[in-house]
Amino acid sequence: MNKQKGSNNKGKASGRGTGNSRNTSYARGNAPIKKQVVTDKPKSAPKNSNPGEIRLNKYIANSGICSRRDADMHISTGLVSVNGKVVVEMGYKVKLEDEVRFDGARVNPEKKAYVLLNKPKGFATTTSEGKGRTVMDLVANATSSKIKPIGRLGRNSLGLILFTNDEDIASKFTNSKNGVPRLFHIELDKNLKHEDFTKIREGFKVEGKLVAVEEISFIDKGSKKEIGLKVKNTGSTIIRTIFDYLKYDIVKIDCVSIGQLTKKDIPRGHWKHLTEQEIVNLKML
């Protein structure tokens, strides 16, 4: 029985290193398989790779405008420019700091984000480090996009601040002619005199510059110390300018609305993402 089994195995490779098996083994069909050599050396980076560059179609897709495939189509038709020059080359790479425009509009390589914060006291409105507690600490987990505060509130002021990476929205706030209306609840150290109320409503000059607000009113069911001021400036400096000039001390500044955005359902120190409708409304201001 043993001899018969041995005869049936003639001509079949046992793979046990006979004289002809020099560092190779044979699989079905007698095809040689080379031994794999494993090394600890890391793969070298592809030539011409640059971690600071990104493909143009991905840059556009990251902005949320369209998919990479659609971006390629738009690039090929000449709708995309980089640093003022039209680019139609597939696979073209750009740096994050390059100026990329799609159909004339500036493209942000990040998805646009809109975060509304109800700021508490004690936080500076700045993106700079070394300023103690800042509003950036409060929205640190809101989004991975590089948002920044639009408009300013003093460290001890309260209320709404909008954060975004949308340059078109940011420009609305900084536009001296149009701007975005913001409503403030102001509390003073004493009752506001009627003549001062009138002066604020009609506008007046401080050091040769006109100081004017959109609206002024007393707060319903409040004392004459509490007023509402609607302004279009990006900060609260104008408020302090007005009341310093008129010899009032400010007890509280609270931004209660930005355009149609309000503090509803946003507790102090919390934030929310704007809805699609709120974004549309803000763009239409």
pLDDT in tens, 10-35: 444 444 444 444 444 444 444 454 44
**Maximal C-alpha separation, the chain:** 124
- Provide CATH code, domain 114-176+262-283: 3.30.70.580
**Res 168: pLDDT:** 82
Q: Give residue limits of the domains in the chain.
A: 53-106, 114-176+262-283, 182-258
Spatial contact of 253 and 239, defined as CB atoms under 8 Å apart: yes
Q: Please say if the pLDDT value at position 2 is more than 50.
A: no
Could you check whether 53-106 and 114-176+262-283 share the same CATH topology?
A: no
Q: Please say if the pLDDT value at position 96 is more than 60.
A: yes
**Res 177: pLDDT:** 66
Taking phi first (over 0 means left), then psi (-120 to 50 degrees means alpha), and beta for anything else, what does residue 90 get? beta
Q: How confident is the model at residue 234 (pLDDT cuts 50, 70, 90)?
A: low
pLDDT in tens, 115-126: 999 999 999 999
- To the nearest whole percent, how much of the chain has pLDDT over 90? 55
pLDDT in tens, 101-115: 999 888 877 788 999
Q: Calculate mean pLDDT across residues 146-170.
A: 91
3-class SS shares of the chain: helix, strand, coil, % to 5: 20, 25, 50
pTM score, whole prediction:
0.69
Spatial contact of 232 and 178, defined as CB atoms under 8 Å apart: yes
Spatial contact of 236 and 258, defined as CB atoms under 8 Å apart: no
Report the top-level CATH class of 182-258.
alpha beta
Show Cβ contacts of residue 105 under 8 Å, excluding neighbours closer than 6 positions: none
Mean pLDDT across the chain? 83
Q: Is the dihedral of CA 133, 124, 180, 177 positive or negative?
A: negative
Q: Tokens at residue 133, please?
A: 């507690």
Q: Please say if the pLDDT value at position 7 is more than 50.
A: no
The DSSP line for 153-216 is: --TT-EEEEEEE--HHHHHHHH-SSS---EEEEEEESSPPPHHHHHHHHH-EEETTEEE--SEE
Taking the CB of residue 7, how many other CB atoms lie within 10 A of it?
Answer: 8
Q: What angle do CA 179, 252, 232 make, to 5 degrees?
A: 5
Q: Calculate mean pLDDT across residues 213-217.
A: 95
Judge: domain 53-106, CATH 3.40.50.300. Answer: no
Burial group, residue 82, by CB count within 10 angstroms (0-12, 13-18, 19+): buried
Q: E strands of 36-84, at which residues?
A: 53-55, 80-82
